[in-house]
Amino acid sequence: MSLDAIPIHVIDPPSAEPGLSGNAPPLLRELSELAKRLLASGETSAIDLSALPLTPADLAWLQDTLGAGEISVSLQANGESTLNETACPGIWWVTHRNEQGAVTSQFIEVAFVPELVKAHPEDVKNGQEYLELLISDL
Amino acid sequence: MQGPLIDTLARQGITRRTFLKYCATLASMMALPPAAGRAMAEAMAAARRPSVIWLPFQECTGCTESITRSHSPTLEGMIFDMISLDYQETLMAAAGHQAEEARHAAMKENAGKYLLVVDGSIPLGRDGAYSCIGGRSNVDILKEAAEGAAAIVAMGSCASYGGIPKANPNPTGAVSVSDIVTNKPIVNIPGCPPIPVVMTGVLAHYLTFGSLPELDEKGRPKAFFGETIHDRCYRRPFYDQGKFAKTFDDEGARMGWCLFELGCKGPVTYNACATVKWNGGTSWPVESGHGCLGCSEPDFWDAGGFYKALSVPADPLRIGAAAAIAGAGAGVAVSFANRAKKNVARQTHETLTVEDLEK
Ligand code: SF4
Ligand code: SF4
């Protein structure tokens, strides 16, 4: 029996994908306000992209518009996370993926450095103790 | 083992960043503001583990499977390290009298403070004799354990609403936890089986804020059960365009059209499958080409046939009303025979024999 006998057609994904909803542009204003707040008080903030009614096209538009900056960080923690600075310094596009590579959550963070990138004092302490151990073995 | 959670996780090779990332995603799934993710991580990292007693009643162990084996090793599973699971028949090493002692010790030590997790329905027929542990009926054990609980989590559709054991004609007189316990906060996490992350979300909320999350009128956490499967289904554009698969192998099915006419109960089912998905986010029933069975709704088993289309237009009230009538009609056959002796036995925890029950 040839494969053709199996009545399965591979079909391109439906082109009926919803387009731009108009929900993305207002986010730019919000980001501008949040950036002002960061400058004035140092207060960081984040927008949860999965909590908003954004279509895939909206997200693509937003990512495109914000552009790519100089820094991209990748974090291997139970799946890959990427924390990429956009063309607007201080505005970071943060994507968390699970081990299967599926996006589990997505944020835009407004901060000098995203929280996740900083080392926690407790962890630094552990690292320092490890260094002592290395030194004692010299 | 009573140290802060973050140390326990570290021993298992889970870094602080992994945990922070997990909490960010959890907060997002629970529709909490992004800052709550950090608050959760901080609170949970430092939390002392609350005592949890897990009672399995008239059930298939599917709920336990869902939580512990969803995709291994899971953070969800390891989060179980943030609780002190003092009694879980399926998972615990102790057996027999030792197991029962462990439960009593935990109940005494943590009186008023422990979380009680229940999976499975509770049979009331024949004075509860259909399901007994150590010679005592489920209803008896539940009442005793509920007494000292801070809150109760009804895991799965059976504990939440009676589930499959309660399906017509309900031979064992199965009821839900909330049919028996009325004076404690109860969270229902229905589903057959329930989605693991909902359990973690409820625990995280409890540990972070010291309270249970907001519930809907059927006792389910709104964060996960706030919308129907249909609301978030990726096949929804086809439903709106009137494009339906008519059989499981026709052109429409191959094109990935809406499964409404094949009996999908998505429009009347509140659950998070369409967004959280199953098996580590791999897929979910509709994505695999099968309609939703409505497993997180009361009496889904008796809702008129899995492959029968809902009457159009989809009317959530219709199933609800039919279910209420079926529930009332199913009735509970409590045997009155030899009641006095049974009551005495219950109070003193004396072991009942089958002969006693048949007297
Ligand atoms: S009826 Fe079922 S398959 Fe169709 S859009 Fe609704 S949930 Fe999806
Ligand atoms: S798709 Fe429907 S039947 Fe399937 S697990 Fe989810 S709620 Fe239950």
Express each pLDDT in B144-162 by its tens digit: 999 999 999 999 999 999 9
B281 and A100 within 8 Å at the Cβ level: the answer is yes
H/E segment holding residue A109: strand A103-110
Report how far residue B148's alpha carbon sits from residue B143's, in angstroms, rounded to the nearest whole number.
9
Q: Which amino acid is at B70?
A: S
- The per-residue pLDDT for A43 is 92
Ramachandran angles phi, psi of A102, nearest 5°: -80, 140
Give B272's contacts in chain A (Cβ within 8 Å): none
Give B20's contacts in chain A (Cβ within 8 Å): 115-116
Of the pLDDT bands very low, low, confident and very high (cuts 50, 70, 90), residue B32 is: confident
Distances (CA, A) of B218 to A110, B223, B226, B320, B337: 38, 13, 11, 11, 35
Ligand of minimum distance to the alpha carbon of B294: 2
Is A2 part of a structural domain of the chain? no
Chain B nearest C-alpha distance from A126 (Å): 11
Chain A: residue nearest B42 by CA?
A: A120
Of the pLDDT bands very low, low, confident and very high (cuts 50, 70, 90), residue B176 is: very high
Is A54 part of a structural domain of the chain? yes
**Best mutation target, B17, B38, B200, to test chain A (most A CBs within 10 A):** B17
> Could you give the percent of chain B with pLDDT greater than 70?
81
Give the pLDDT confidence of B119-149 residue by residue, as tens digits.
Answer: 999 999 999 999 998 889 999 999 999 999 9
Would you say residue B314 has pLDDT above 60? no
Is A1 part of a structural domain of the chain? no
CATH number at residue A50: 3.30.1370.140
How is chain B split among helix, strand and coil, in percent rounded to 5? 45, 15, 40
The ipTM of this complex is 0.78
- Asked if B189 and B206 count as a contact pair (C-beta separation under 8 A), the reply is no
Give B248's contacts in chain A (Cβ within 8 Å): none
Is A127 part of a structural domain of the chain? yes
- The per-residue pLDDT for A9 is 59
A45 and B34 within 8 Å at the Cβ level: the answer is yes
The CATH fold assigned to B49-225 is Rossmann fold (3.40.50)
Of the pLDDT bands very low, low, confident and very high (cuts 50, 70, 90), residue A99 is: confident
A77 to chain B, any CB pair closer than 8 A? The answer is yes
Pocket test for ligand 1, best of B234, B255, B259 (most atoms within 8 A of CB): B259
Ligand 1 atom with the shortest distance to the CA of B258 = 4
B34 and A77 within 8 Å at the Cβ level: the answer is no
B282 and A50 within 8 Å at the Cβ level: the answer is no
**Best mutation target, A8, A17, A105, A108, to test chain B (most B CBs within 10 A):** A105
Chain A nearest C-alpha distance from B20 (Å): 7
H/E segment holding residue B328: helix B316-330
* Among B92, B80, B127, residue whose Cα is nearest residue B352: B127
* Among B12, B78, B28, B27, residue whose Cα is nearest residue B49: B78
Report how far residue B270's alpha carbon sits from residue B129's, in angstroms, rounded to the nearest whole number.
33
Cis peptide upstream of residue B298 (ω within 30 degrees of 0): no
- The per-residue pLDDT for A8 is 58
Of the pLDDT bands very low, low, confident and very high (cuts 50, 70, 90), residue B321 is: very low
Q: Which two tokens stand for residue B144?
A: 């005793």
Q: Average pLDDT of A30-57?
A: 89
Ligand of minimum distance to the alpha carbon of B300: 2
- Asked if A109 and A71 count as a contact pair (C-beta separation under 8 A), the reply is no
- The per-residue pLDDT for A82 is 95
Residue closest by Cα to atom 3 of ligand 2: B293
B28 and A100 within 8 Å at the Cβ level: the answer is no
- Asked if B128 and B343 count as a contact pair (C-beta separation under 8 A), the reply is no
Does B349 contact ligand 1 (Cβ within 6 A)?
A: no
Is A7 part of a structural domain of the chain? no
Q: Average pLDDT of A45-71?
A: 88
Of the pLDDT bands very low, low, confident and very high (cuts 50, 70, 90), residue A18 is: low
A48 and B34 within 8 Å at the Cβ level: the answer is yes
User: b vs e for B190-203, b when ≥16 Cβ sit within 10 Å of the residue's Cβ?
Assistant: bbbbbbbbbbbbbb
B106 vs B313, residue with greater confidence? B106
**Best mutation target, B25, B76, B284, to test chain A (most A CBs within 10 A):** B25
Residue closest by Cα to atom 1 of ligand 2: B292
Is A20 part of a structural domain of the chain? no
Tokens 């080392």 belong to A119
User: How much is the mean pLDDT over chain A?
Assistant: 86
The total number of residues written for chain B in this structure? 359
- The per-residue pLDDT for B76 is 58
Is A11 part of a structural domain of the chain? no
What residue ranges do the domains of chain B occupy? 1-48, 49-225, 229-358
How is chain A split among helix, strand and coil, in percent rounded to 5? 40, 20, 40
Would you say residue B331 has pLDDT above 50? no
Q: Which of B52-61, B257-266, B311-320 has the lowest mean pLDDT?
A: B311-320
Q: What range defines the domain where residue A63 resides?
A: 25-136
Q: Which CATH number is B229-358's, of 4.10.480.10, 3.20.19.10, 3.10.105.10, 3.40.50.300?
A: 4.10.480.10
Q: Which of A24-38, B37-51, B159-173, B250-264 has the lowest mean pLDDT?
A: B37-51
Question: How many domains are contained in chain A?
Answer: 1
